Amino acid sequence: MSKKPLILGIESSCDETAASIITENEQGNPLVLSNIVSSQVEVHKEFGGVVPELAARSHVEKIDWIVQKAIDKSGKNIEEIDAVASTAGPGLIVCLSVGLSFGKAFAASLNKPFIAVNHLEGHALSPGLENKIEFPYLLLLISGGHTQYLIVRNVNNYEQLGTTIDDALGEAFDKTAKMLDLGYPGGPKIEAIAKQGDNDAFNFPRPMTNKKNLDFSFSGLKTAVFYEYKKLNNVSHVQKSNIAASFQAAVADTLLHKTKNALKQTGLNELVIGGGVASNKYIRDRLISELKDYKIFFPPIERCTDNGAMIAYAGSLYLKGSKEGLNFNIKPRWPLSELANG
Contacting positions for ligand KG4 (CB under 6 A): 14, 143-145, 170-171, 173-174, 185-188, 191, 275-277, 279-280, 305-306
Q: Rounded CA gap, 323 and 216, in Å?
A: 33
- Residue 9, binding choice from ligand KG4, Zn ion, none, Cβ under 5 to 8 Å by partner class: none
Q: Based on CB atoms, which residue is closest to Zn ion, 143 or 259? A: 143
Distance CA 191, CA 98 (A): 32
30/185 with CB nearer ligand KG4: 185
CB 267 to ligand KG4: min, Å: 28
CB of 277 to ligand KG4, least distance (A): 4
Among 121, 140, 158, 160, CA closest to 318: 121
Select the binding partner of residue 299 from Zn ion, ligand KG4, none (C-beta < 5 to 8 A, by kind).
none
Inter-axis angle of helices 237-266 and 169-179, nearest 10: 170
Q: What residue ranges bind Zn ion (CB under 5 A)?
A: 143, 306
**Shortest separation between residue 122's beta carbon and Zn ion, angstroms:** 7
Query: Smallest distance from the beta carbon of 303 to ligand KG4, in angstroms?
Result: 10
Query: Smallest distance, Å, CB 297 to Zn ion?
Result: 17
Q: Which is nearer to ligand KG4, 71 or 129 (CB)?
A: 129
Q: Give the C-alpha separation, 201 to 216, whole Å.
A: 24
186's contact among Zn ion, ligand KG4, none, with CB below 5 to 8 A by partner kind, is ligand KG4
Distance, CA of 200 to CA of 246 (rounded, Å): 6
Cβ proximity to ligand KG4: between 30 and 299 the closer is 299
Shortest CA distance to 77 belongs to which of 3, 151, 159?
Answer: 3
Closer of 143 and 248 to Zn ion (Cβ): 143
Instruction: Please give the torsion angle defined by the CA atoms of residues 68, 5, 117 and 54, in that order, rounded to the nearest 10 degrees.
Output: -10
* Shortest CB 275 distance to Zn ion, Å: 6
Distances (CA, A) of 283 to 6, 209, 271, 278: 34, 17, 14, 7
Is the CB of 174 or the CB of 270 nearer to ligand KG4? 174
**Contact between 145 and 324 (Cβ < 8 Å):** no
